[in-house]
Amino acid sequence: MADAPQDQIAPLLNPEGWELLASLGPYREDEAFRLNASLRKAGHSPELVSAVLTQSRLRTKAEAKFGEFARQMIFTQAGLEQATRLTVAARHAQRFAEAGVQHVADLGCGLGADAMALASLDLQVTAVEMDETTAACATMNLIPFRNATVVHSDATTVALEGIDGVWLDPARRTTSTSGTKRLWDAEDFSPPLSFAESLAGAGLAVGVKMGPGMPHDSVPKDCEAQWVSVGGDVTEVGLWFNAVRRPGIRRAALLLGPAGAAELTSAEDFDGGPVAPVGPVEGYLYEPDGAIIRAGLVADVALQLGGHLVDEHIAYICAPELRDTPFARAYKVLDVMPYNVKALKAWVKDQGIGVLDIKKRGTSVTPEELRKQLLPGRKPKAKKTATLVLTRIGEERVAISVEPV
């Protein structure tokens, strides 16, 4: 669905629209048609009914990022796609607070997630948003915070007098009637990365949220780069300059999950750091978290585990003994087989396997297609579950049978 234009937000910004939206329960797709009809029958305009149902759907979707706060917020589709999870936004805000920053400009504030987190720590916040509809949403979302002000303006031209910190979450998508499209060049972002660097060059405490796929050679030389993973999903890389950059840290991987937070850091640049040995598939296989891989810290984890890489170019680690680590998922190695579809099909049949989880790295094999080949036709009565790891060791493709620890 395309992003909500002004006419999807404006009907909500009056008492009738706000009260009607508040009266709705959690959005259910199977109830939407019936609810649409009943609201129109009750005398509400088609425009208002469409707006409240769209907003109800977005609020329900937003609970994954905002929890119960989503029930009181206003969203657009594009804004929600890029919005920072509140758990991560709280980490951003903590950086500025601990650095002694007093007044933060959130340039390109979107729906206001980071501005909310900053304001909740009693920092003065000026939230700037160029898109009129999104700025209206941010205004509504920041109503509870008297220390936050929303400015409808171009982030690159707004005055920064009295401001000692800047947070930027550049728009990395363009929106059209057909939906949203991701941008890849940092200079096409709004605002571009070079603008953030210019603010850092002026001495301001600057933090920038970038996409997690940012190439290492695009990371500015004078910042700390911290990749963030939430529940195993790599959500961003934060670039931190000046007062909000931690001394002695060039790159880091922060993992947030049910068990809490864990972080691995390095003072070395991306072409430095330790080199892990390469060895056989044995004992236990470890699959590093995506943030560890993005931050170039796989070798560091391998050495922590007393292990080695199975191939110098692939992020799989093996170690003879099992060691607990928050930075990688562990599997017990059961068997190592050459990658051969016919042989693997016979192996699946001999083992009585009915459910097959396939992981891969360093090979072009498509797990879904291979699964269809190995478990053709009707599912066998057997429900034994197995996990296969497909990878490459040198020029040889292998299939490793493993058991999750």
Relative to beta strand 103-107, strand 165-168 is: parallel
CA-to-CA dists, residue 280 to 180, 293, 318, 325, angstroms: 45, 20, 7, 21
Query: How high is the pLDDT of residue 388?
Result: 97
Query: How high is the pLDDT of residue 179?
Result: 61
Token digits of residue 311: 């191939």
CATH 3.30.2300 fits 333-404, yes or no: yes
Read off the pTM: 0.88
Read off the pLDDT of residues 187-244 as tens digits, 9 standing for 90 and up: 767 778 999 999 999 999 999 999 999 999 999 999 999 999 999 999 999 999 999 9
Query: How high is the pLDDT of residue 2?
Result: 39
Spell out, as residue ranges, where the chain has pLDDT lower than 70. 1-7, 172-186, 188, 377-382
Query: How high is the pLDDT of residue 174?
Result: 63
Domain definitions of the chain by residue range:
6-75, 80-266, 284-330, 333-404
Strand ranges in 139-259 using DSSP code E only, listed in sequence order: 148-152, 165-168, 173-176, 179-182, 205-210, 224-230, 233-241, 251-257
Query: How high is the pLDDT of residue 376?
Result: 81
Query: How high is the pLDDT of residue 246?
Result: 98
Class of domain 80-266: alpha beta
Strand partners, 358: 388
- CB hemisphere CA count around 231 (13 angstroms): 5
Query: How high is the pLDDT of residue 367?
Result: 94
